[in-house]
Chain A
């Protein structure tokens, strides 16, 4: 029998990295991601399954080891696990209280860190990303140049930026420009 052709999913910015004295940007390794829509009950139940409460306050995130849950909207969360395979995360059974979609391959991520990280992102993002307005653990969907992204502040000077895979070369170019400006 002929060998089956298996399409490999590639990240167009895989392996990209840049560092200057102020900021370092690198393409994050593949991760498992779920777009999760749910009623309050569905969110609570899934939180128990994951052993991680989904955030209920706008703009917040919760995390535990490699797993993070980001508040995106009143009934929408983005679940990211940087280690465990998607099969371990996806809910086994469906019911009317939630809808989980595997979007592991829809998104790619960049890790932006260093003293200039905030300025690097602000070069293309209209949001106030200062520590007072966007403290550690904040998460939000927003706009970056013309691309929609999800931002998560993982530390005082580190961010995770999630964007759609096909947007990643565009986002990367903007990040490089921002890093250059942040360094001046």
Chain B
């Protein structure tokens, strides 16, 4: 079982307490009504799904209930970093540093 660090509980918790909530840092636009169908589709449905490092939202649903963000490697399933919701996206350089 994976052990995931929850930034709100500040502790490692078993995977079963968590739920994945899709890709992180997707900004909802203010002008949704003016978007073309193609733009809307891109924003609403199209996700990166990379083989490698992925930035994801997770929810500690059977714990503190909070959403947070995590950087996970989709091949090794290793969590490189977790950080609270609302914190800015780590730069590519920082992510590269975590990969080392």
Contact = CB atoms under 8 A, between A and B. Distances in A.
B64 A74 contact: yes
Interface stretch (B4-12, B21-29, B92-100): B4-12
B90 interface: no
Nearest to B18: A143
B17 A76 contact: no
Nearest to B65: A73
Interface residues of A, number: 13
A72 B16 CA distance: 17
Given A58-B8, A127-B14, A142-B17, A73 B64 contact: yes
Given A126-B1, A126-B14, A127-B14, A143 B62 contact: yes
Contacts, number: 40
Contact of B64 (A72, A126, A127): A72
A59 interface: yes
B62 A141 contact: yes
Interface of A: 58-59, 72-74, 76, 126-127, 140-143, 148
A58 B11 contact: yes
Contacts of B65: 72-73, 76, 141
